[in-house]
Amino acid sequence: DAGVIQSPRHEVTEMGQEVTLRCKPISGHDYLFWYRQTMMRGLELLIYFNNNVPIDDSGMPEDRFSAKMPNASFSTLKIQPSEPRDSAVYFCASSWISGSLLGYTFGSGTRLTVV
């Protein structure tokens, strides 16, 4: 199993540009989570999906952020327009069985730098 796969690993973009982060969860996992990690705020849950349906997006900072999960094997997190304060490491995680975190696996993250 290749684990949770995120791309790109690094992204540098100019302020105002659109950024799309991608995630492929572990096959068979029915929950997918997007987190953001910064030194100041630590790990923050942005949004999570269950069976491709967004369940809780209360952590999404503002309307510039959007996430989709068109199928069980793919999700995107989009920032449009991007701002320097969006610079962070964005993690995707997936889990199996409702609430069982033994299967809660993180990807390696995408380091986003907005200049």
Partner 1 sequence: GESVGLHLPTLSVQEGDNSIINCAYSNSASDYFIWYKQESGKGPQFIIDIRSNMDKRQGQRVTVLLNKTVKHLSLQIAATQPGDSAVYFCAENGNNFNKFYFGSGTKLNVKP
CA distances from 98 to 16, 51, 63 (A): 38, 10, 28
**55 or 115: CB nearest partner 1:** 55
Q: Which of 14, 18, 56, 83 binds partner 1 (CB under 8 A)?
A: 56
Contact pattern for partner 1 over residues 76 through 105, marking x by CB under 8 A: ---------------x-x-x--xx-xx-xx
Sign of torsion over alpha carbons 7, 33, 70, 98: positive
**112 - beta bridge partners?**
11, 88
**81 or 106: CB nearest partner 1:** 106
Nearest-approach distance from CB 29 to partner 1, in angstroms: 12
**Hey, which residues between 18 and 47 contact partner 1 (CB under 8 A)?**
31, 33, 42-45
Q: Which of 21, 107, 112, 114 binds partner 1 (CB under 8 A)?
A: 107
Q: With beta carbons less than 8 A apart as the criterion, state whether 17 and 81 touch.
A: yes
Rg value, the chain, Cα: 13
- Measure CA 3 to chain center: 15
- Measure CA 70 to chain center: 14
Where do contacts with partner 1 occur on this chain (CB under 8 A)?
Answer: 4, 31, 33, 42-45, 48, 50, 55-56, 91, 93, 95, 98-99, 101-102, 104-109
